[in-house]
Amino acid sequence: MTPRSGVSTPAILLVIAGLACQEVGAAIAVLLFPAAGPLGMVMLRLVFSALILLAIARPSLRGHSRSAWTGVVLFGIVLATMNGLFYLALERLPLGVTVTIEVLGPLVLSIVAARRASAWLWAVLAFAGVVALGGGGWDRLDLLGVLFALGAAASWAFYILASARVGRDFPKLDGLALAMAVGAVLALPWGIVDAGAALLRWEIIALGAAVAILSSTIPYAFELIALRRLPAAAFAILMSLAPATAALAGFVFLGQNLSWLEVAGIALVIAASIGAVRSSARAARGTAEPIA
């Protein structure tokens, strides 16, 4: 199968596994907020992710165009911004609700990128699931937290575009490693101020490294690989599984209970994701239904 020409089952599994790791890492980060602060956790997450990826990829600094380097810098800015806004929102909102708002970015992107009528149908269904999933928490939303989450949503859409661009310009994980290093440098001063003396505690450093592996290194690597094998619209809608994994992680690790409406939202989001992937697969085989 030609990369990005259709849906690859291994690529789908990579996205789902990355989402699971990401939300477990986010739950652990929430538990560390009282000690290190949200921006301190962002810094630890990005710094350790950059170190790990640079050690694994060992990217070459030569032979890349100015446009490619521009893409890396922009990707790094997006990584720092997205993670910062997400953790600031997570400090004020439940995990499931925060990710529910954040996933609006990829959903909007899927609608913009859609070229078939069915893509719009699955996007609408996924959006209904997002609304239902947040039904148990809208009454306790913090306004500033919502604004941070909306900013993270916009950043997530830009992340998908920037990641795809870097994936085309750099082999393997080289571009991701370099972009993560840029993001880490940008997050460093903010994180030092926010975390303060907590950075001298070995257990905080160790847990920060664990969060980095779960929330950044594994998911971003999996997604970068998957983006080479999945159409952009299918990938964006598939990422709407994030509220489901976040709600489950919040329930298991943070004691955030699920209401029946949230369970219904999870079911709608999963159904939309499956429908989008199947629709893209039919289109790739040339048997897709005519566009209305």
Q: Per-residue confidence at 80, pLDDT binned at 50, 70, 90? A: very high
Q: Is the pLDDT of residue 288 over 50?
A: no
User: Among 1-10, 74-83, 116-125, 133-142, which stretch is predicted with the lowest mean pLDDT?
Assistant: 1-10
Q: How confident is the model at residue 281 (pLDDT cuts 50, 70, 90)?
A: low
**pLDDT for 194 beyond 50:** yes
246 pLDDT above the threshold of 70: yes
Residue 19: name the closest of 270, 288, 190 by CA. 270
Q: What is the model's pTM?
A: 0.81
pLDDT for res 283: 56
- Categorize the per-residue pLDDT at 114 as very low, low, confident or very high, splitting at 50, 70 and 90: low
Q: How confident is the model at residue 170 (pLDDT cuts 50, 70, 90)?
A: confident
Q: What is the mean pLDDT of residues 7-18?
A: 81
